[in-house]
Each structure stands twice: as structure tokens, then as C-alpha cells.
């Protein structure tokens, strides 16, 4: 398939560019649990990077008097409130730190990219309040086993902190994207808990790269099941409840029907908004056809997202305009550019 083969080529071309920013995740068996980060130092870009225990100043309500014993206050989203939809439309860039091949987010000055996202978000608002998104590839797939034998590595906490600091400067959400290789999603998600405990950090899963033992990422499509997706949603929902957080987006990217199966197993959870991002590549006609196929009979808990590719889509004609994207039905609630 056109879009799947394109992304496999991109992974092979970009893996060396991201190697300096990534460290192997832990584990002892095929697709086991555990992940670790390296001590790689990322250069600060603008203001100093935040500690993961720091939340945006606007995210907390005024403290009650010491004599009262109120229930804990729920943190706020970067632009207010505790629920995502239908108030907001999410619009973002995807990318890996320092790698143009993985998307525009990692190219050049991050604050300049944030201003671009803001302009695109305004154009795609469609009557909603725009909420910018930085989707950072955090667990990076490789086409070789690497030191951990799992075909993946994780960027350092310093890189995540730098992008979170930038997201906070622009009142945006940071989504941590996982390309798992031969490792399960859930242990990789748990390895990011210190970041997911923040009110402005969400999650994105890339099951195209979730391969079985014996398979190599990029040579075959990976897959995940609705049960696996629901286990991640349950874990994130528990974090939201435990730490009194606003709703978190949980995005899963899908390029073909075979990549995510059994979606009806997904349960609705108050703290998590699950979004299917349709990642078809090509002309407007081809992208619309992929969209129609993948959003048909969508289970109720799943919201819709749509991905546009600056380079690959334009090889087949003009990139779809905001008006054309908003004309899709159902209307995408998350629009991502790569």
C-alpha cells in the first residue's frame, strides 16, 4: 500500500538522525516490559526545561483557606477547562527531535514551529477553540535490533522536558508518540508515567510499528488489538483520576484496517479521549477513500483525527486545504501535519 510503504522508507532514512537523541529501552524478552532513558543532554531551546513535577501556572485554581478541607482541585488544560471535546479542535505537528525526516516539529526553531501550528489551528477552528499540539516521537522504531534487541529506543528525559517547556510557552499540549518495535505498548507507556502525570501531556500510539517476534519494522505492518488499546486507556484513566488531571488525548494512528483490530473492545473512560488518526497518504481522492474506510462503523468511544503529509501528499497534487479537511464527515477533531 502506498502510504504504508512510504512510512517504512522514512523510518529507515531517519533512524540514524534520531540516534543521537535516543537511548535503548529496557526489557528481557520479545516485546517485554520496561523502558529506560539515557543521560543524553539536549540543548535548551529558549527558557529552561521544566521539571515533570511542575505544571503550568494557569492549570491550578486558587487554593482554599487552610481551615477548609475541600476535595482536590482538578488541573486545567493549557487553554482552560477539563474536557477536550466538543469545545476544542486539536491541531498539531508531528516530529522527532532534530530529524526533518520524521516531521516538521523537529525542524529548526521550536518556537517558530509553534507559531506555524497556531496559524494552522486558527484556520482549522471551524467554530471551535483551537488547541495546538506538539506530537513528539518519543519511542523511536529502528530497522535493526539495537542494543536492547527490541528495535526501538527512547529519547532522553532532557528532550521531553525541552519540548514540554516549549509547549507551555505556547499553551499547547505535548503528546508523546510511541513506535514500539517488538515491545508491548503498555510497559512503554508506564515508563513515561512521570510525564503523563502532567496536565498538559497526552499520548499517541503508532501500531503500524508494533511487530511480532520474527518480524522487522518496515518490512511488514505491525498491529494492535482493541484489548491492548483499552489496557493503555485504563492505565491512563487511572493516572487522570489519581492525580486529578483534565482529560487526556490518547491518539492511535491507523494506515490500514489490518493495523488495529477489534476496536469494539474499547471501553469509554471519563479521563481519556481516544482519537483515531487516519494516516492515509496521497491525493485528496485517495486520502478521502482511506478516511471513509477507516471511520466506517466507528465505536462510540472513538473520536476522529486526520493526518496530512507536507511532502508525500504533494507528490500526488495539492495538499488538502483546511476547508476540504473540515468538509470530511465525521469532521476530524484532531488534525495533524507531518
- At 98, the pLDDT band (50, 70, 90 cuts) reads confident
Q: How far is 67 from 120, CA to CA, in rounded Å?
A: 47
Percentage of residues in the chain having pLDDT higher than 70? 79
pLDDT, tens digit, 9 for 90 and up, residues 21-43: 454 444 333 333 333 333 333 33
**89 contacts 328 by C-beta, under 8 angstroms:** no
Question: Which of the four CATH numbers 1.10.3470, 3.20.20, 2.60.40, 3.30.720 does domain 2-25+77-337 have?
Answer: 3.20.20
Q: How far is 160 from 153, CA to CA, in rounded Å?
A: 14
Q: What average pLDDT does this structure show over 71-90?
A: 95
Q: Which helix (H) or strand (E) holds 225?
A: strand 224-225
Boundaries of every domain in the chain: 2-25+77-337
pTM value surpassing 0.75: yes
In whole numbers, what is the pLDDT of the chain averaged over residues? 85
pLDDT score for 51: 61
Percentage of residues in the chain having pLDDT higher than 90? 74
Q: What average pLDDT does this structure show over 66-87?
A: 84
Which one, of 181, 233, 174, lies nearest residue 211 by Cα? 181
pLDDT, tens digit, 9 for 90 and up, residues 215-259: 999 999 999 999 999 999 999 999 999 999 999 999 999 999 999
- Can you list the alpha helix ranges (DSSP code H) found in 86-137? 110-123
Q: What average pLDDT does this structure show over 125-148?
A: 97
Grid coordinates standing for 277? 488518526
**165 contacts 129 by C-beta, under 8 angstroms:** no
Burial of 219 (0-12, 13-18, 19+ CB in 10 A): exposed
pLDDT at 14 over 70: no
CA distance readout (Å), 203 to 5, 138, 150: 24, 10, 21
Which one, of 100, 114, 110, lies nearest residue 45 by Cα? 110
pLDDT, tens digit, 9 for 90 and up, residues 269-322: 999 999 999 998 999 999 999 999 999 999 989 999 999 999 888 898 999 999
Letter string b/e over residues 99-122, b meaning 16 or more CB atoms within 10 A of that residue's CB:
bebbbbbbbeebeebbeebbebbe
- Can you list the alpha helix ranges (DSSP code H) found in 32-109? none
Phi, psi of 305 (to 5 degrees): -135, 160
Which one, of 187, 165, 137, 140, lies nearest residue 28 by Cα? 187
Amino acid at each position: 500500500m502506498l502510504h504504508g510503504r512510504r512510512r517504512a522508507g522514512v523510518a529507515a532514512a531517519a533512524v540514524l538522525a534520531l540516534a543521537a537523541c535516543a537511548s535503548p529501552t529496557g526489557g528481557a524478552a520479545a516485546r517485554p516490559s520496561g523502558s529506560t532513558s539515557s543521560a543524553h543532554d539536549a540543548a535548551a531551546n529558549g527558557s529552561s526545561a521544566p521539571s515533570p513535577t511542575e505544571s503550568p501556572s494557569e492549570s491550578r485554581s486558587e487554593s482554599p483557606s487552610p481551615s477548609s478541607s475541600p476535595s482536590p482541585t482538578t488541573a486545567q488544560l493549557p487553554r482552560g477547562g477539563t474536557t477536550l471535546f466538543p469545545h476544542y479542535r486539536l491541531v498539531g505537528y508531528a516530529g522527532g527531535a532534530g530529524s526533518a525526516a520524521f516531521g516538521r516539529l523537529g525542524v529548526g526553531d521550536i518556537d517558530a514551529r509553534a507559531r506555524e501550528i497556531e496559524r494552522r489551528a486558527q484556520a482549522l477552528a471551524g467554530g471551535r477553540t483551537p488547541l495546538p499540539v506538539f506530537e513528539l516521537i518519543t519511542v523511536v522504531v529502528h530497522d535493526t535490533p539495537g542494543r536492547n534487541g527490541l528495535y526501538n529506543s527512547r529519547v532522553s528525559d532532557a528532550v521531553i522536558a525541552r519540548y514540554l517547556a516549549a509547549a507551555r510557552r505556547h499553551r499547547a499540549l505535548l503528546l508523546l508518540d510511541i513506535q514500539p518495535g517488538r515491545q508491548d505498548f503498555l510497559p512503554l507507556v508506564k515508563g513515561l508515567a512521570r510525564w503523563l502525570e502532567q496536565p498538559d501531556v497526552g499520548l499517541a500510539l503508532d501500531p503500524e510499528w508494533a511487530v511480532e517476534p520474527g518480524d522487522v519494522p518496515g518490512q511488514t505492518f505491525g498491529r494492535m488489538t482493541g484489548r491492548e488499546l483499552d489496557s493503555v486507556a485504563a492505565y491512563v484513566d487511572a493516572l487522570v483520576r489519581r492525580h486529578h488531571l483534565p482529560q487526556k488525548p490518547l491518539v492511535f494512528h491507523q494506515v490500514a484496517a489490518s493495523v488495529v483490530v477489534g476496536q469494539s473492545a474499547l471501553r469509554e473512560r471519563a479521563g481519556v479521549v481516544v482519537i483515531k488518526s487516519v494516516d492515509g497518504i496521497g491525493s485528496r481522492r485517495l486520502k478521502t477513500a482511506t478516511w471513509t474506510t477507516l471511520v466506517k462503523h466507528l465505536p462510540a468511544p472513538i473520536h476522529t483525527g486526520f493526518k496530512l503529509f507536507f511532502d508525500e501528499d504533494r507528490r500526488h497534487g495539492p495538499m488538502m486545504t483546511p476547508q476540504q479537511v473540515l468538509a470530511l464527515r465525521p469532521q476530524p477533531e484532531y488534525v495533524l501535519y507531518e
